[in-house]
Amino acid sequence: MDYSLSRFLYTLLGLFIVMNWGMLMSSTMRRIIARVSGRIGIPWYQPWIDLIKLYSLRSQITHGTMFYLGPVFRLMGGVGLFLFMPMIYGSAYFMNYSFSGDLILILYFQFFGMLGMALGAGEGGQPYSAIGISRGLSQFTTIEVPMTLAVISLAIQYDTLSITEIVKAQQGSIANWTLFTNPFATIAAMLSLLGAFGHSPFNLVKAPNEIPIGPPTEYHGTFLGVLRTNGAILHVTEAALFMNLFFGGATSWLELILKTFFIYFWSVFVGVVFPRFRIEQSVRWFLKWPTLIGIISILIWM
C-alpha cells in the first residue's frame, strides 16, 4: 500500500477542491430554489461567510464527550467517503486511498458518520434531535433498498465491485455509460439518491420549521461549522459516487464538477416540485416503484 506523503498531500488538495466546490454548489442550489419560489436568495459567497462566522464564534457549550465527538464522527464519515472514493479516473493523484476497499466499503462507510452524528445529537438530549434521527434511520432503511438492488445489478453487469473497474468499463463513448447499458439500475439508484440527498419530499430528517433542524439542533459554533464542512464534502462525494457508477466517471476536475452539479441538481429539481412526505409515506414509496425497478434491473441480468 502507498502511504507516501505525496499521496497524503494530493488527497488533501482534492479534499480542498471538493469542499469549496461543494459550498459553491450549495449556494447556487439555494439561489435556484429561491428563484423558483420568487425570492432573490443568498449571494454565492454566503456559505464561506457562514463558515467563518461559525468557526470564530466565541461562546461554545458541550453536553459531554459523545456530544463533542459527534461532529468528528460526522466529518470523518464525509472525509472517509472521499478518501476511499476514486475521484478522477486515470489520475494517479486523485484516486485517493480507494485501493483499500471497493464499492461495499463506500456503501457501509456512509453509516460511520450517520451513527456518530446520531450518538452525538443523542447526548445533547434535545428531543428534536432524537425525533430527527429516528425518522432518518427509518427512512434510510428503505432508501437503501433500491440502491442495494442497483449495486447488485451493476455487480452482475460488470462482474466487479471495484469502482475504478466500473468506471473503466464505461470509458470510450457515452453509449458505454451505465445510464444506457443498464437504465433500470440507474433509475432505481437515482430515485434512492433523492432520499439520500434529503431534499423535499424526503427532507424529514432536518424538516425545517417542523422539528427545527433535526439532529444538529443542539449544535452551534465550531461544531455546526464542522457539520457544514462535512455537508459540502459529502454532497460532492456522494454525487461523485453516482457519477462513477452510472455516468462514466470523470477524467478531469471539470468533468467532475459538471456531472456532480447535474446529479445534485436532479434532487433539487424534484425537491422544488414536490411537498414533504410523512415518514410512513416516504418509507412505503421507496418500497414501491424504486424497489420494483431495482428488482427488474436484476432480473434482466439473470
Partner 1 sequence: MVSPIYIIVIALGIAFSLGFFGKSKLNFAGILVLLGLLGMSFISGQWLFAFLNDTAVNTLIFTAGFQPPYSISLQMGLNEAVLTSMVNIAGLLGFVYLFRELSEKGIHLLMVYLVFVMSMNVSLMTRDLFNLFVFLEIETIALAGLILLINRKEAFQAGMKYLIASGIISGFLLIGIIMAYQSGGSLNIDDLIRANSSIGKISSIAGFLILVAFILELKPFPANGWGIDVYTAAHPGIGSLVSAAVATTGLYLLYKVLPIVGPQFNDYLVAIGAISFIGSNLMGTRQDNPNRLLGYSSVGQVGLLTLILGLAPSLGNQTLPIVFSILVSHFAAKAGLFWISGIIQSNHIKDWSGLRSSPTLMLLFGAFLLALLGFPPFPSFYGKWELLLTMGGNQQYTIVLIVLLGSFIEAIYLMKWLGYVIKLERVEIPRENLTLHKQMPIWIMGIVLFVMGFLMNRLNNYGASIDYLPLVFIFLLFVLDFLPVAFKNTLSIGGLLFYFIHLWDMVTDDLIRQIFLVIFLIGGILTFLAGYAQKGKRPGFYPTALLMYFGLAGIITAQGMFDFFYNWELMTVGSYFLIIRGKRSMPHAYSYMLFSIGGAYLLLAGFALAAASGAGEGLDALQAISILPEWVYGLLAVGFMSKTASLGLHIWLPGAHGEAESDVSPMVSAILLKAGVFGLVVLFLSIGMYNPSAERLLYVLGWVGALTTLMGNMSAAFQEDAKRLLAYSSVAQLGYILFAFTMMTQMAWLAGFTYTLNHFLFKAILFLIIGAIVVKLGTHNMYQMGGMIKKMPFSFIAVLVSIIVIGGIPPLSGFAGKWLFYNAILEKGWYFQGALIFFSGIVAFLYLFKLIYSVFLGQLKDNHRHIKEISAWVLIPSYLLIIGIMIFSAFPKEVLLPISEAIAPYFGNDALVWEGTKAISHLGYWDGTTIAIVVGTAFMLILAWLIALSAKAQKVEQFNIVFAAERPFRPETTHVSYNIYAGFHKAVGFLVTPVVTSFWNRMAEWTLDLAGWGRRIYSGSIQNYTIHVFFYIVVFYLLSMGGY
Hey, which residues between 101 and 120 contact partner 1 (CB under 8 A)?
101-105, 108-109, 111-112, 115, 118-119
Q: Is residue 276 a contact residue for partner 1 (CB under 8 A)?
A: no
Q: Is residue 241 a contact residue for partner 1 (CB under 8 A)?
A: no
Tell me, by CB under 8 A, how many residues bind partner 1: 83
Q: Is residue 296 a contact residue for partner 1 (CB under 8 A)?
A: no
**Buried/exposed 261-293: b ≥16 CB within 10 Å, e otherwise:** bebbebbbbbbeeeebbebeebbebbeeebbeb
Q: Is residue 97 a contact residue for partner 1 (CB under 8 A)?
A: yes
- Which grid cell sits at 28? 447556487
Q: Is residue 99 a contact residue for partner 1 (CB under 8 A)?
A: yes
Q: Which is nearer to partner 1, 35 or 284 (CB)?
A: 284
Q: How far is CA 111 from the centre of its chain?
A: 11
According to CB under 8 A, which residues from 115 to 144 bind partner 1?
A: 115, 118-119, 122-128, 130-131, 133-135, 137-138, 140-142, 144
Q: How far apart, in Å, are the Cα atoms of 138 and each of 104, 133, 293?
A: 21, 8, 21
Q: Is residue 160 a contact residue for partner 1 (CB under 8 A)?
A: yes
Q: Which residue has the cell 466499503?
A: 105
- Tell the smallest beta-carbon distance from residue 56 to partner 1 (Å): 9
According to CB under 8 A, which residues from 67 to 86 bind partner 1?
A: 68-69, 71-72, 75-76, 79-80, 83-84
Contacts of 94 (CB under 8 A, 6+ apart): 10, 11, 14, 86, 87, 88
Q: Is residue 238 a contact residue for partner 1 (CB under 8 A)?
A: no
DSSP 276: P
Q: How many CB atoms lie within 10 A of CB 49?
A: 12
Q: Is residue 152 a contact residue for partner 1 (CB under 8 A)?
A: yes
Q: Cis link prior to 183 (omega < 30° from 0)?
A: no
According to CB under 8 A, which residues from 193 to 232 bind partner 1?
A: 212, 217-218, 221-223, 225-226
